[in-house]
Structure 1
Amino acid sequence: MDTTKTIIIFFFFFFLFSNSPLITISALDFCSNSFCSRKEPAIRFPFRLKNLQPAPCGYPGFNLFCNTFNQTLIDLPNSGKFSVQAIDYARQNILLNDPENCLPKRLLELNLFGSPFKGFFLQDFMFFNCTFDYRNYKFNPIGCLSGENYTVFASSSQRTISFLKSRCNLMAKVAVPVQWNYFEPVMTSDLSDNIRLKWGSPRCGQCESRGGRCGFRNGSNGTQIECTNAAHRGIPAFLFLLGFLCFLCSRVRNYCWRPHRVMEFSTVVAPQPTTVVCGLDNPTIESYPKTILGESCRLPKPDDNICSICLCEYMPKETLRSIPECHHCFHSECIDQWLRLNSSCPVCRNSPGSSPFSPEL
């Protein structure tokens, strides 16, 4: 009789959990991250790869596709195809370049009207066509726009513009969506760096920064967006179901083994030694130099433009802290938490000179 009740309860809860969020996790597989190749950016909502992900996996205007070289491309309505270099879902911006390796030519015709994007930072550049090569003046030419008998330069510096204006032909004035808002005007640039664009809708930045996933709400027909965390969906239901299965197994075992008496032995587990985590004290950490990053985002090591702890790019006005012995820089809040638990640099693992201590809990 007890076994019959147990089986009835099992089927009742099985039917109950068949409609729970535990089962709906499989629906997220249709909109999981996609890639054109291993080196290309991860594609997820609001973007989607055409012909690889269903239409509900993306937001209108955010369609991407892969070319024959496995590059990730986006087709802007009035500007044509650009290669996608990176996507920052938390900050809601995207880095683009020209798949044909002549971005300045594309900038001369860039028109973001009709697309969901706009410039992250806009800086005015003047394009000049010069019959004389002014590279001796340390001007940086635009190679893909220059020819045998002429050289093209672009500048945002009024002093350089005044110099070239009286000697060259003005081609165009373009508001370039640069990666950073440079505080100092650029004397000349080949403008081959990626352009940074941002989008305002859909607003999924906060959801992404918390580790969540954005997408259309089930049953909303593509009109409502929700934030879900696939890593935690269904966990309470799973734990409850796991406990119930353990209960079921114990009932079946007791029923089958009831005529027999089996002696149970307890296993003695040796206590594990306590591990003491040693770091640096607050006065030592506060003695390390702090820097507020300016608009030009100039760092002691220009290649270190990403915090090695949180893996986010440095942005203007952020506070950085460096370790004196190796001069590696990090976000101040990131390295402070690290040094309270570890006495070594997270990059080179060199230990600064200080006495370790046991952090207070």
Structure 2
Amino acid sequence: MVYSFKVVSSTSLFLIMISCLNIAASQNLCTKAVCSHNEPVIRFPFRIRNRQSKSCGYPGFDLSCGSSNETILELPFSGKFVVQAIDYARQEIWINDQENCLADRILSLNLSGSAFHGLYHQSFTFFNCSLFDYRKYGINPIVCLSGYTYTVFATSSSRVMYSLQNGNLSCNLIRVVYVPVDWPFYQQILSSEFSEDLHLTWEEPRCGKCESSGGRCALKTNSSEVVCSNVPHHEFPRSALYAITTAAGIPGALILLCVLCHICGRVRYCDRSSRRSGGLPEFDSTVNIEPVVTVVGLDGATIESYPKIVLGESRRLPKPDDSTCSICLCEYKPKETLKTIPECKHCFHSDCIEEWLRLRATCPLCRNSPERLPPAAS
């Protein structure tokens, strides 16, 4: 086995130590928080004002706690909304109206000036109609917008829109609105009361890959740069040991290694107890001077051959206790795509398990090694 070594100066080693210290200090200050025990967990890029320091969040991601300890997001041109859920790995957030009349907020929704935009959109036309027997049209009114002498409807069906405008029903068009929805509709919706949450996403900061790998994003100390920490690693590279030994001498290297392992180990693995349940490998700070053995993952053809499942509204899976992806630790949501390992039937988010199997040829839960596809005939 051949190794190539590169001598690292003491100045470079000092900079590595300072970088680890900066990230460690940032992580120690920025612990996760909640408005109450049943509310979403808040961490970077979000922060709760007056509970987490300004450096713990990204500009435009400030949250607050309401009078009933609900989590509040305030959009610059649309006011305050209640945060229902946050998916950090997929960079998605679900919000709703404090007064339980989301349709009213949708009519004036303006996401400009905020960090968020709709992931999917559906066009809805709002009508204000005089009282009539709307049941024969198969549509439902928006109760919170309707009154004693009029009824408000919202529909994306061209057939219903034509009936309301041309059916002598005394209906007036209010507005056509593009509504952020949880999933694109392949059939036009007859009528909606907008009882579901608004489904939004964000582009910056890009922390989805870091979160999916088990890491955590944070702002670098005294900087606007976003760094990823807590990413699982297995071994301290032998080449790094050689470089440190060459630069600092054996006694100095041992001391420096202990400091680096302690600091960087705390930064990367401070949350290892929660990840242990998800099947991610634990950190071992012991320096291994033996050659590092690289474990090769599965090939693309084998990974691609595994069956996919698109979750329905019931989120029902072959195993009744499968409700959370043990790789990203996020609960499954309707319409998400999952992938199953055929041998053990364990399910995971499709993106999560594909990335995992490229690096490790074992199931994250049971550690069994899936069979590979035979090589294609030449």
Q: What TM-score do you get using the length of structure 1 for normalisation?
A: 0.65
Deviation at 1:95, TM superposition (A): 0.6
Deviation at 1:316, TM superposition (A): 5.6
Deviation at 1:164, TM superposition (A): 1.5
Deviations 1:174-217 (A, max 9, x none): 10001111111111110121011111111111111111111211
* Distance (Å, rounded) in 1 between the aligned partners of 2:340 and 2:370: 20
* Structure 2 runs not aligned, ≥5 long: 1-15, 238-253, 262-303, 373-378
Partner of 1:114: 113
Deviation at 1:76, TM superposition (A): 0.5
Q: Secondary structure at the residue paired with 1:186?
A: coil
User: 1:25·1:230 contact (CA, 8 Å) conserved in 2?
Assistant: no
Partner of 1:172: 175
Alignment of 1:190-269 (within 5 A): 190-220=193-223, 222=224, 224-229=225-230, 241=258
Give the direction of change, closer, same or farther, for the CA distance of 1:322–1:181 in structure 2 (3 Å limit).
farther
Amino acid at match of 1:48: R
* Distance (Å, rounded) in 2 between the aligned partners of 1:322 and 1:126: 44
User: 1:22·1:238 contact (CA, 8 Å) conserved in 2?
Assistant: no
User: 2:89·2:211 contact (CA, 8 Å) conserved in 1?
Assistant: yes
Give the direction of change, closer, same or farther, for the CA distance of 1:187–1:330 in structure 2 (3 Å limit).
farther
Deviations 1:50-94 (A, max 9, x none): 011111111111110001100000111100000111111111111
Give the direction of change, closer, same or farther, for the CA distance of 1:329–1:27 in structure 2 (3 Å limit).
closer
User: 1:126·1:154 contact (CA, 8 Å) conserved in 2?
Assistant: yes
Give the direction of change, closer, same or farther, for the CA distance of 1:317–1:40 in structure 2 (3 Å limit).
closer
Deviation at 1:339, TM superposition (A): 11
Aligned length: 281
* Structure 1 runs not aligned, ≥5 long: 1-16, 245-285, 343-356
Deviation at 1:148, TM superposition (A): 1.8
Give the direction of change, closer, same or farther, for the CA distance of 1:340–1:93 in structure 2 (3 Å limit).
closer
Give the direction of change, closer, same or farther, for the CA distance of 1:157–1:320 in structure 2 (3 Å limit).
farther
Amino acid at match of 1:208: E
Give the direction of change, closer, same or farther, for the CA distance of 1:24–1:292 in structure 2 (3 Å limit).
closer
Partner of 2:28: 29
Alignment of 1:78-97 (within 5 A): 78-97=77-96
Deviation at 1:241, TM superposition (A): 3.9
Percent of residue pairs bearing the same amino acid type = 45
User: 1:133·1:151 contact (CA, 8 Å) conserved in 2?
Assistant: no
Deviations 1:323-361 (A, max 9, x none): 9xxx9987579699769959xxxxxxxxxxxxxx99779
Amino acid at match of 1:180: W
* Distance (Å, rounded) in 2 between the aligned partners of 1:69 and 1:216: 30
Q: Please tell me whether residue 45 in structure 1 is matched to residue 48 in structure 2.
A: no
Partner of 1:302: 314
* Distance (Å, rounded) in 2 between the aligned partners of 1:162 and 1:169: 12
Q: 1:181 aligns with which of 164, 180, 184?
A: 184
Give the direction of change, closer, same or farther, for the CA distance of 1:341–1:208 in structure 2 (3 Å limit).
closer
Q: What TM-score do you get using the length of structure 2 for normalisation?
A: 0.62
Deviation at 1:40, TM superposition (A): 0.8
Q: Secondary structure at the residue paired with 1:53?
A: coil
* Distance (Å, rounded) in 1 between the aligned partners of 2:336 and 2:217: 28
CA RMSD of aligned residues (A): 4.2
Deviation at 1:143, TM superposition (A): 1.0
